[in-house]
Amino acid sequence: MADLEPLLRFWRALDDLFERSEALWWGAVVSDARFPAIQEPNYARVETRQPVRLEEIEGSLLPAMRASGSERSHVVVFHPEDQTDLIVAASTRGERIVWDMVMVATGREVEPMGEVEPMGEVTEVSAFDGRFWSDHRASARLFDISDADTLDQMQTMERDVLIPAGRRWFSVIDGGRRVALAALLVLEGTGFVDHVVTFPGARRRGHAEMLTRRCVSEATSMGADSVYLLAEPDGGAARIYDRIGFERVAHLASWLAPRDP
């Protein structure tokens, strides 16, 4: 049974950055009226191992989503192996269950670079200027985020919440242009790597691996005992993280539905 407590400590601290985080016996409901189009600050965090009913979660979640203006109901389950009834209830109602694989590493576990000859240079973003925000916007589209309001709110959340909380951005510069990005945030002694992306035309050159290694190194130097990330269970990125030295430790289940079906 995986110990997800370090990840949960990070996640709780992250949720506390937003306007409202209501603690409940089964987890929390997080909401922020500044970012109604963004699911991360508007969702239910189910962290208990005890059985909990879908109706009980939505009894707290849906009013909070109406208050924040979010049109969606988002639930993240941290111990899905103990919440099979909850997941079945959501699935039976027609929700599409999404699975994310939890991977973790420490600085000591990170393996040296393999046979891939890295191209370009990893640098920390020091100026959050127009060029960065243009590249950030373009990178978000590679995660299938195209709605203009959603992109605007994502960037406002970065500027006003995440970067002030310590989120650091790293990029690969090749030929004078930014070709890959990754973000790192350390909270409560735990690092979390996110938004690892390489632009088309620059892939298969080791950029994602270089960036992830740099993030782990930086997190360790900041005192993080462990560094987490989420990956698609069957995606190619997971193999990169395997090669670096990340361990596959658990899965999270989630679903996203209209707030008022």
Give the C-alpha distances (Å, rounded to integers) separating 255 from 75, 87, 92.
Answer: 6, 9, 12
Rounded to whole angstroms, the Cα distance separating 225 from 163 reads 21
Rounded to whole angstroms, the Cα distance separating 71 from 261 reads 10
Q: What number of residues does the chain have?
A: 261
**Strand-strand pairing, 190-198 and 177-187:** antiparallel
Was domain 107-249 assigned CATH 3.40.630.30? yes
Rounded to whole angstroms, the Cα distance separating 143 from 232 reads 13
Note the pLDDT of residue 202. Answer: 82
- Three-state DSSP at 4 gives coil
DSSP string, 127-191: ---HHHHHHHHHHHHTTT---HHHHHHHHHHIIIIITTTT-EEEEEEETTEEEEEEEEEEETTEE
Note the pLDDT of residue 107. Answer: 60
Note the pLDDT of residue 142. Answer: 94
Per-residue tokens: 151:
């992109």
Note the pLDDT of residue 259. Answer: 86
Per-residue tokens: 220:
């360790």
- Domain borders along the chain are 5-101+253-258, 107-249
Q: Digits of tens for pLDDT over the chain (261 positions)? A: 578 999 999 999 999 999 999 999 999 999 999 999 999 999 999 999 999 999 999 999 999 999 999 999 999 999 999 999 999 999 999 999 999 999 999 865 565 554 445 567 899 999 999 999 999 999 999 999 999 999 999 999 999 999 999 999 999 998 888 999 999 999 999 999 999 999 998 888 889 999 999 999 999 999 999 999 999 998 889 999 999 999 999 999 999 999 886
Rounded to whole angstroms, the Cα distance separating 251 from 101 reads 4
